[in-house]
Chain A
């Protein structure tokens, strides 16, 4: 019974569901948002992910996890997938899958890395690369739910062109009252940027984040090395380890 109370919207049994691609949008030259229609989708919380399963003609199949990019919206489930060169699954999802095609997914998965719109605590989101995806779901959910929780996002990407949701984030930083967004570039900065390209450091977290006294809920997501570094910075700055939730997407190397 205690289990049901903390399961964060997980259905008791996660069945594989047929998901039909209804729409896609290129976010960057190497990342695509895929919007699926999933009949009987049970809904999800921002931060949760799905498991995607691909099956070959001879029955061979493999699975990968992808964060959900949008808050619950009926039968729609949106993912944003970064192309991993030589990857087994991501090139198929980005280059082969067309509108009308059906794949399998199940979820929602993960009752821990989630933000609940009833929680009034300030929120600090720190994303690297595709790690922005579940954080964007939280930002979108905040507005959709009319939450007044104060949000700050620090978003690290290689170059300005590598940013996902760039226009939307610009608009939201202007219109979503109580949302601040700051950027870090690791390879190339925009024209006139005051700093050279570099990895996210203590100063960025200090300036773009919340003081530990505010007891913000911290969500850190991205490649393993990025998450390790950022979580260590948060702890060093005095944030309570129990308020730092992390999601590691895979190999390090930003």
Chain B
């Protein structure tokens, strides 16, 4: 729908010189704002674990040392938050989920991601594969701070940032789609920023 024009509103378009294309309704920020429904969690790495559970109930577990020993990648990606800000060319380091799913026997269609503290978010399993998702533990060359989900968070940059669960703890694979925390609170089940899928029904 074409919006009602606000006379006298010009808006700020991207930085001068270059035209950046952002998803609809988003604006560019240089900051790194925080969106969390509650207090920031402090999760120690000595008890940290990451567990994948398949639809057959099979468990695959990694502790912090094992995660650190896996081959890592350094993706540079754009972030789009449902609270309207976008941040471009962010620099991360972590393990591709393709590496973690290598020895996992599954035919599941859906994934429910769990975090320390009880947060959950759901995605189609295929959105976690083929170089689209990582468990990241460094940002801008530094250890990931608790505010931004450290020690490790999921990174799925092609979807709104609430899908990139902070303080990630595990993934449960299933044949059925189970809405996560924000998805149960009226946010979109899939969350594609380019189709502006912010809320249910978008």
Contact = CB atoms under 8 A, between A and B. Distances in A.
A45 to B, nearest CB: 12
Contacts of B83: 65
Interface string A233-254: 0110000011011101011000
Interface string A218-240: 00000010001001101100000
B117 A65 contact: no
A137 B90 CA distance: 37
A104 interface: yes
A96 B4 contact: no
Given A6-B185, A13-B200, A112-B185, A62 B36 contact: no
Contacts of A57: 5, 7
The DSSP consensus for interface residues of chain B is: loop
Contact of B185 (A101, A110, A235, A248): A110
Contacts, number: 137
Interface in A68-121: 88, 92, 96-97, 101-104, 109-113
Interface stretch (B26-34, B51-59, B69-77, B124-132): B26-34
Q: How large is the interface on B (under 10, 10 to 19, 20 to 34, 35 or more residues)?
A: 35 or more
Q: How large is the interface on A (under 10, 10 to 19, 20 to 34, 35 or more residues)?
A: 35 or more
Contact of B6 (A54, A110, A113, A228): A54
A131 to B, nearest CB: 14
A231 B40 contact: yes
Contact of A2 (B6, B184, B202): B184
B139 interface: no
Interface in B161-202: 179, 182-186, 198-202
Interface of B: 1-13, 24-27, 31, 33-41, 83-84, 117-118, 147, 179, 182-186, 198-202
Interface of A: 2-3, 6-8, 10, 12-14, 16, 18, 51, 53-57, 59-65, 88, 92, 96-97, 101-104, 109-113, 224, 228, 231-232, 234-235, 241-242, 244-246, 248, 250-251
25 contacts: A2-B179, A3-B179, A6-B184, A6-B185, A7-B186, A10-B199, A53-B25, A55-B3, A56-B6, A57-B5, A57-B7, A62-B25, A62-B84, A63-B25, A63-B27, A64-B84, A88-B11, A96-B6, A110-B186, A111-B185, A228-B34, A242-B38, A244-B38, A251-B31, A251-B33
